[in-house]
Amino acid sequence: MNMGFKDEKTLKVSAIKNGTAIDHIPSNCLFKVISLLKLDKVETQITFGTNLDSNKLGSKAIIKISDLFFEDSDINKIALIAPQVKLSIIRDYKVVEKKVVKVPEEVVGLAKCFNPHCISNHESLTTRFQVLTDNGDIELKCKYCEKITDQEHMILL
Amino acid sequence: MSRSLVSITDYSKEEYLEIIEIAKEFELQPVQEILKGKIVATLFFEPSTRTRLSFESAVLRSGGNVIGFSDASTSSSTKGETLNDTIRTVSNYCDMIVMRHPLEGAAKFASEVASVPIINAGDGSNQHPSQTLLDMYSILKTQGTLDNLAIVFVGDMKYGRTVHSLVMAMSHFSPRFFFVSPVELKLPEEYKLYLDNHNIPYIETTDFGMAIREADIVYMTRVQRERFADPIEYEKTKNAYILKYSMLLGTKPTMKIMHPLPRVNEISRCVDKSEKAYYFDQTKNGVFVRQAIISHLLGLK
C-alpha cells in the first residue's frame, strides 16, 4: 500500500542487514544523539541522513547502525533530547521489533546542572537528577541543589 | 551511610513532630550530659555567627565538645582542598558535622562522602532545615497547635529560603497562607504549583495591612535592595513591607511576629516591646531544637 513511501526512505539512507535504525530524530538533535549513544566510538558501519522531509517534524534525521543493539537504559537517554524517536531492530533486512523511548525516572552522569552555584559544577562528582515532566517537556531536578533545569537550558555532558 | 539532615523534605510529618517532642524535653531540662565524650565539628565555609553559636551552644549544653572553623579563610579550602577531602578528613575527627557552605547542594554531597551524620546549616540559597524546625517549634509553642493556622509571610518570597522551607513543612498541617511581597519578589511558580496540588489555600497580595489582621503568625523577612534590577522600584516599595507598631492594632490577641533574623529595618524597633514580638524567643527555641536534632541523629533520643 505505502510501499512507495517506504522505498523512498530506504533510498535516502540505505538499508542494513542487521542492526538498529533510529528514526524521527529532529535534525538539530542528530549530533547530540550521536554523542549520547557514543556512536563516534562504534566501529561497525553507520550511515545517517539529516534534513530529510518529515510530515511530523518538518525536518528529521535517521541513523542506521549495523550489528549493534542497544540496552533500553542507553536508548532511554535519548528521551532527554528527542522523546519522539522510534527505533527499529533489524535482522536479515526485516524489522523484527519497534521501540519507542521511555523517559527515565532518574538521569545519572548525563547532564549538567544549569545552576552556577550548584556544588556539582565545582566538585568532581556524578550529577544526578530526578526527571519531571511539565506538559510533555522534560525537566531535571538536581539531587544536590534541588534547582530545576528545563529543556532549553539542558547541557549534556 | 549514616543518617543526615540535609533538606527539610528529608523528614516526614511524624519526624517533625518527633523532633519537636524531643525539643520540649530539652526546654524543660536544657543541661543534659548526653553528648559526653562526643565531638561535633562546626564547619562554616561561609560565616554565620548566629547559626554557628546556636549549634555550639546546643552541643555544649548537651555536654559535648566542639571543634571547627567559622570562616573558609581559616580552613584548608583556601589551599585548594576539595570539599570531598575536607569532609572525609574531618569525619575522622568527630562524631557529627554541622556545616554551612556558599554552594547549593554542598551538604547533600558531604552527606554522601562523610562517615558521620551531616547537619546542613545552610547551603547557599537552598536549605537550612534546622531553621524550619525551630520555626515550627515556635509556632507550636505560641499557638498550642500547628493545625489550621493563618500564616502571613512578608517580604522576599522569591529568594527567601526560610519561607520556602516553612511553606513546604507547614503544608502538612492544613494552613492558610498569605504571601505579602513586592511584585518583583513573588513566590516562585513551583511552590504555588505544590500548594495547588495539595489544595492549600493561599493569597498573594501587596496589601500588608489587610493580611496582618487575619494572621496567627506573621513571618517577616528582609527585602534586600540588591534583589531589585531598578533601584527606583526598591525605593518606591521598601516602606510597604515594614512592620510598624500602629499596624498591630486590630490584630488577633494571640498573634505572634516571627523573623529568622538578622533584622535590618523591616520591623520597627517600637514593635520589640509588644508581647506579640517573638523573634528573640525564637532564637532561644533554636538551641533546644538543635539539641533535639543532634541527639536524634546520633540515636541518643
- Do B126 and A123 count as a contact with CB atoms less than 8 A apart? no
Q: A11: pLDDT confidence band, cut at 50, 70 and 90?
A: low
DSSP-derived pairing of the beta strands A94-100 and A111-112: unpaired
Closest CA to A61 of A32, A23, A35, A33: A23
Per-residue pLDDT at B2: 65
Distance of alpha carbon A116 from alpha carbon A153, whole angstroms: 12
Per CB-CB distance under 8 Å, the chain A contacts of B124 are 117, 145
Interface contact flag, B105 A146, Cβ < 8 Å: yes
ipTM for the predicted complex comes to: 0.88
The three grid cell numbers given for residue A103, joined into one nine-digit string: 523517559
pLDDT band with cut points at 50, 70 and 90 for residue A4: very low
pTM value is: 0.86
A22 has pLDDT over 90: yes
CA distance to partner chain B, nearest, from residue A138 (Å): 15
Give pLDDT, residue A3: 47
| Helices (H), ranges, B105-160 | 106-113, 129-143
B83 contacts in chain A (CB < 8 Å): 119, 123
Grouped pLDDT means (10 residues each) for chain B, 301 residues: 86 96 97 96 94 97 96 76 95 98 96 97 94 98 98 94 95 97 91 94 94 96 84 83 95 97 92 97 97 96 85
Total CB pairs under 8 A between chain A and B: 52
Cα atoms found within 13 Å of the Cα of residue A139, Cβ hemisphere only? 12
Tell me the CA distances in angstroms from A51 to A38, A45, B136, one per residue in order: 21, 21, 58
Residue A34 in grid coordinates: 550521536
pLDDT over 60 at A1, yes or no: no
In sequence order, what E strands does B102-241 have? 118-123, 150-154, 176-180, 202-205, 217-220
For residue B106, list chain A residues with Cβ-Cβ distance below 8 A: 119, 123, 144
Average pLDDT over residues A95-117: 91
